Amino acid sequence: MTTKPSVLILCTGNSCRSHLAEGILRSVAGDILEVHSAGSKPAGYVHPLGIQVMHEIGIDISAHCSKHMNDFLQQDIETVITVCGNADQACPLFPGQLNRHHWGFDDPAHATGSEAEKLAVFRRVRDEIRRVFTAYAEGRRDQLKAAKSGGQAS
């Protein structure tokens, strides 16, 4: 039995974008990937509007907590994905790391205006993250299928 490859999604505060991405990637690829998120300067909470917009698409991240990226330095992390520029610059090399991707998204936590205007920004960023991370999951599934079909017969 093989263990699932670990993916670590990094942001600066680990309060919003990285949790949206973690929840979405775990939802679409949790059967083939171990998914985590962390921050270079954790905020100490998960943004309530992030929790709300994820609930709208049937994903519960209310039990997530803000973590520091150093908490993962002793783990084998196959892929690191940064979702903001500051985390991309602060990102260390993790043990076992084979891949690194940077896909930047606007920070909805900086949205201003009414509650409805803020929610619109959270939904837009959630949907952008959903498109990118769903495509990533599909690519990982295609890689697995190709490896199995081109691999050794049992």
Tokens of 100: 């690194």
Catalytic residue among 20, 91, 121, 125: 91
Cβ(9)–Cβ(21) below 8 Å: yes
Q: Cα 116 from chain centroid?
A: 25
Q: Is 16 a catalytic residue?
A: no
Q: Which of 11, 69, 81, 132 is catalytic?
A: 11
Q: Which residues contact 152 (CB under 8 A, 6 or more apart)?
A: none
Active-site position among 8, 49, 84, 109: 84
Round the CA-based radius of gyration of the chain to a whole number and report it.
16
For residue 8, what is the enclosing H or E element?
A: strand 6-11
Q: In Å, how far are 41, 80, 121, 123, 149 from 7, measured between CA atoms?
A: 19, 6, 26, 24, 24
The catalytic residue positions are 11, 84, 91
